[in-house]
Amino acid sequence: MPLVRLQKFIADAGIASRRAGEAIILAGSVTVNGHVVRALGTKVDPDHDRVTVDGRPLKSRRKLYIALHKPPGYLCTRDPSKHHVIGDLLPKEWGNLFSVGRLDNDSEGLIFLTNDGDFCLKLTHPRYGVRKTYHVTVEGRVEPEMLSKILKGIFEAGEKLKAEKARLLTVNNSRSLVELELAEGKNREVRRMFEALGMKVTRLQRLKIGPIKLGELRPGRWRTLTEPEIKSLLSKL
């Protein structure tokens, strides 16, 4: 195999993203063939060099890319002490996978899991702006001017919360269904936008990440992403 940068090798081993891998290297936690390495430009031979992080040997793992339909009531965490975590829905041997972004406990829909730190970074970092589409059920009547505010941006707790696209699908005095497209993934962003407008979200479902749709995938079920799907996610980044 060709030589690869040390931080990429760490990401390929599923330990951390490249950026986090750089911090691990600078902290002096990485050895190559028994020698501590702090130089970020260091390259290694994945087939022959022995790399450790905090004394733990690393090796490149087969990269996995999973699409999961997260049901409500499941947490996006790797903490085994928590009840109902999304890892419980996957085969036990995939315990090293981490979620690409988050959906809060009450939210549902499409989420990816992987052991590829670079893939995770590119799909979650704001500079890449990967679009995500949501269907949001809101208590009460959502007026068009509310969507205009969401499109312009709402400041809440020192952050600007903003949708790239917003449209009303159905609306009456008791319930509204809104479709939103977001380019960032701030914590509880959709719920916070509507809370700032005095509205309560009763259901939040993510239907699409980039070009990949939830489709017919049932709650609690998963599938592997195909090679063309992975390429389509990364092609414009």
Query: Tell me, what DSSP letter sits at residue 25?
Result: H
DSSP element (H, E) containing 99? strand 98-100
User: 84: phi > 0 → left, psi -120 to 50 → alpha, else beta; which?
Assistant: left
Catalytic position from the list 12, 49, 88, 104: 104
Tokens of 87: 């890892």
Query: Tell me, what DSSP letter sits at residue 85?
Result: B
Q: Give the pairing of strands 200-209 and 108-114.
A: parallel
Length of the chain: 237
The Cα 209–Cα 31 span in angstroms is 37
**Residue pointed to by tokens 């319930």:** 175
Instruction: Based on the residue annotation, tell me whether 88 is a catalytic residue of this protein.
Output: no
Question: For 98, phi and psi rounded to 5 degrees?
Answer: -125, 155
The Cα 237–Cα 230 span in angstroms is 12
Any idea which residues carry the catalytic annotation? 104
